[in-house]
């Protein structure tokens, strides 16, 4: 009993065990009886087929043994020449298949030579042998075809598995390359952001230095301008003061306190001082409103500083002129004869 494997629909490998059952021929007067022992088989698991071209009976069957194992058999029997093929019948009972082949009623011809019977038997035997060999050859071809198909299925499964493994490997490689490219892009982006941040900090530090330097220059310029304005105002006062005329007309003369030029200068200084004060009040009011709204600019800050310095200079000039005239008046009063 040989064991063979073959796929069976579900994708699981099924193992077959080939069975060679025992058979017995009985030649009776009216029929030839063939008995085949098939223990463990049922009637539904057995199939009997008559092949007209070769006058042979094929008996096949298979049954499960459990655990994906099956038992099967395939037997071929030659039908005797003197049997009526259309009246062949069979029965299955007590694990035995009985096939009954009724004989033809043949009238024996008298005076037949013995040699003709021998030749006929030899021809019959040769025909039976030929048919048997042909049946075996066909069975072998069918078995080879099954093996070839099984081998092709196995190769197809292996090829499919190899293709899936290759596709998976390529997908993993592509995913790895994508992850590396993404990591490289993120590193470059971080590096670029750091460079931009460092450049921004440098620019801010440079702008801050430039702003402080410009502020120092502006403060120095404002101080210099204030000093120049003070010096200029002092020079103006010095030019005006000599024009004061202290005229004497004898012992009974009266001192002329201030000339007409000094009066005009004082009047002009008072008008300018009033104009500057009004302008300063307006500018201060606008600046305060902008400071409340937080809209003051650097130019407006400079203007406020210049206005304050100018007001101080004018106030100082007025005080200086008043002090000088008062001193002159006191000196002229003390020099008058009694």
Q: Which of 74, 106, 138 is the last residue of a domain?
A: 106
- Given a cut of 80, whether residue 314 has pLDDT beyond it is no
The tokens describing 129, both together, are 């042998």
Tell me what pLDDT residue 163 has.
93
Residue 228 contacts by C-beta under 8 Å, 6 or more apart in sequence? none
CA separation for the pair 78, 53 (Å, rounded): 11
Same domain, 16 and 99: yes
* Token pair in block for residue 285: 């009011």
C-beta separation of 61 from 41 below 8 A:
yes
Is residue 58 exposed (0-12), middle (13-18) or buried (19+ Cβ within 10 Å)? middle
pLDDT at 3 over 60: no
pLDDT digit string (tens) for 150-161?
Answer: 999 999 999 999
Burial (0-12, 13-18, 19+ Cβ within 10 Å), 61: buried
Is the same domain home to 93 and 37?
Answer: yes
Q: What is the mean pLDDT of the chain?
A: 77
Q: Are residues 125 and 212 in the same domain?
A: yes
Residue 243 lies in a domain: no
Weakest-pLDDT range from 77-86, 247-256, 265-274, 289-298: 247-256
Burial, 41: exposed, middle or buried (Cβ in 10 Å; 0-12, 13-18, 19+)?
buried
Q: Is residue 250 part of a domain?
A: no
Provide the residue count of the chain.
338
- 223 and 182 inside one domain: yes
What pLDDT score was predicted for residue 107? 54
Domain boundary among 60, 82, 106: 106
pLDDT, residue 49, reads: 92
Q: Per mean pLDDT, which range of 117-121, 242-246, 285-289 is the poorest?
A: 242-246
pLDDT band at 221 (very low <50, low <70, confident <90, very high): confident
pLDDT given at position 38: 93
The pLDDT, as a whole number, for residue 11 is 54
CA-CA distance, 258 to 278, in Å (whole number)? 29
Q: Based on the domain organization, do 92 and 119 belong to the same domain? A: no
Instruction: Please say if the pLDDT value at position 196 is more than 80.
Output: yes
* Mean pLDDT computed over 282-287: 64
Total domains present in the chain: 3
The answer on 91 and 14 residing in a single domain is yes
The encoded tokens of residue 40 equal: 């463990």
Q: Flag whether 146 is in a domain.
A: yes
Q: Which region among 37-41, 95-99, 233-237 has the lowest average model confidence (pLDDT)? A: 233-237
* 270: pLDDT strictly greater than 80: no
Residues in CB range of 18: below 8 A, 6 or more apart: 1, 2, 3, 4, 72, 73, 74
**Do 38 and 98 lie in a common domain?**
yes
95 and 140 fall within a common domain: no
Domain assignment present for 273: yes
Question: Quick one: pLDDT band at residue 268, thresholds 50, 70, 90?
Answer: low
Give pLDDT, residue 193: 92
pLDDT tens for 57-83 read 999 999 998 888 999 999 999 998 888
Q: Is 140 part of a structural domain of the chain?
A: yes
Q: Is the pLDDT of residue 88 over 50?
A: yes
Task: Quote the pLDDT of residue 255.
Answer: 41
The pLDDT of residue 250? 43
Q: Does residue 121 sit within a domain?
A: yes
Based on the fold, state whether residues 295 and 189 are members of the same structural domain. Answer: no
Q: pLDDT class for 283, splitting at 50, 70, 90?
A: low
Percentage with pLDDT > 70 across the chain:
67
How far apart, in whole angstroms, are the C-alpha atoms of residue 172 and residue 325? 103
9 inside domain = yes
CA 184 to chain centre: 15
Examine the domain organization and report whether 99 and 118 are in the same domain: no
Residue that is last in its domain, among 64, 89, 106: 106
CATH number for the domain that contains residue 81:
2.60.40.790
One domain for residues 123 and 154 = yes
The range of the structural domain enclosing residue 317 comes to: 255-329
In this model, does residue 230 exceed pLDDT 90?
Answer: no
User: In this structure, are 19 and 99 located in the same domain?
Assistant: yes
pLDDT band at 285 (very low <50, low <70, confident <90, very high): low
Do the domain assignments include residue 82? yes
Average the pLDDT over 144-170 and give the result: 91
């Amino acid at each position: 009993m040989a064991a063979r494997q073959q796929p069976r629909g579900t994708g699981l490998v099924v193992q077959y065990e080939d069975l060679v059952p025992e058979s017995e021929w009985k030649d009776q007067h009216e029929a030839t009886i063939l008995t085949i022992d098939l223990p463990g088989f049922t009637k539904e698991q057995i199939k009997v087929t008559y092949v007209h071209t070769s006058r042979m009976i094929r008996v096949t069957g298979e049954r499960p043994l459990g655990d994906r194992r099956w038992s099967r058999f395939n037997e071929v029997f030659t039908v005797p020449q003197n049997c009526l093929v259309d009246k062949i019948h069979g029965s299955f009972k007590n694990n035995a298949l009985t096939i009954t082949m009724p004989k033809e009623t043949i009238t024996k011809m008298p005076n037949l030579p013995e040699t003709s019977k021998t030749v006929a038997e030899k021809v019959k035997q040769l025909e039976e042998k030929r048919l048997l060999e042909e049946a075996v050859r066909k069975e072998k071809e069918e078995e080879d075809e099954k093996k070839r198909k099984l081998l092709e299925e196995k190769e197809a499964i292996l090829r499919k598995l190899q293709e899936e493994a290759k596709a998976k490997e390529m997908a993993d490689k592509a995913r790895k390359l994508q992850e590396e490219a993404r990591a490289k892009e993120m590193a470059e982006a971080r590096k670029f952001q750091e460079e931009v941040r460092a450049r921004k900090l440098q620019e801010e530090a440079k702008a801050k230095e430039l702003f402080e330097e410009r502020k120092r220059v502006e403060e120095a310029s404002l101080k210099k301008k204030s000093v120049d304005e003070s010096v200029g105002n002092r020079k103006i006062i010095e030019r005006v003061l000599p024009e004061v005329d202290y005229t004497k007309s004898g012992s009974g003369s009266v001192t002329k306190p201030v000339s007409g030029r000094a009066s005009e200068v004082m009047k002009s200084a008072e008008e300018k001082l009033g104009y500057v004060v009004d302008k300063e009040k307006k500018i201060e009011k606008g600046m305060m409103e902008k400071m409340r709204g937080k809209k003051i600019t650097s130019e407006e800050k400079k203007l406020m500083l210049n206005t304050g310095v100018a007001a101080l200079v004018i106030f100082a000039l007025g005080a200086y002129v008043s002090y000088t005239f008062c001193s002159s008046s006191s000196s002229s009063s003390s020099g008058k004869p009694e």
